[in-house]
Amino acid sequence: MRRPNSRIYCHFLSFLVRGDAVERGRKEVEHRVHALEATIDGLNAQMRDAAQLTQEASRKRLEADFKIEKLTEALATGSTRANAAEEAAAAADARLAAAGDQLARKVGQRENRARQERTMAARVAKLAALAAEAEARAEEAERAEEKWRAKEQWLKNKLKKK
């Protein structure tokens, strides 16, 4: 086999080598570009997810702010109603205390009247006993008087007979 011109052959070989190198370089660059595009796509997907999360968080924050505002209003209303209820309870306690005092006075008055009635009943019983005793004495005195009159009559009759 005959060898071709070594210079031309060397240039040809170097061209082939350079062409292979260029092809390898082009493929490497292409591979890097594809890797970077995949990274960019991944980052874009992450940005979309982050935007959705941000929107959802913002919506939830607005909902939470709305609920907090409603709860604050409800708390204020409840506090107002609780204060009114406490005032009403205090007024009811005052009325109850006044009614209790009045009831205690009436009970005291009834007890005093009952004690007076018992005292009067005892006096009436004592006076009734004294009246019965006086009546018994009066009846006894009347009998004694009748006996004396009968004796007096007997004595008068006896003296007349004599």
Least confident among 55-64, 76-85, 102-111, 144-153? 144-153
- Assess contact for 38 and 32: CB atoms under 8 A: no
pLDDT tens readout for residues 97-130? 999 999 999 999 999 999 999 999 999 999 999 9
Q: What is the pTM of this model?
A: 0.41
What pLDDT, on a 0 to 100 scale, did the predictor assign at position 24?
Answer: 79
pLDDT tens readout for residues 131-157? 999 999 999 999 998 888 888 888 888
What pLDDT, on a 0 to 100 scale, did the predictor assign at position 1?
Answer: 46
Measure the CA–CA gap between 98 and 92, rounded to whole angstroms. 10
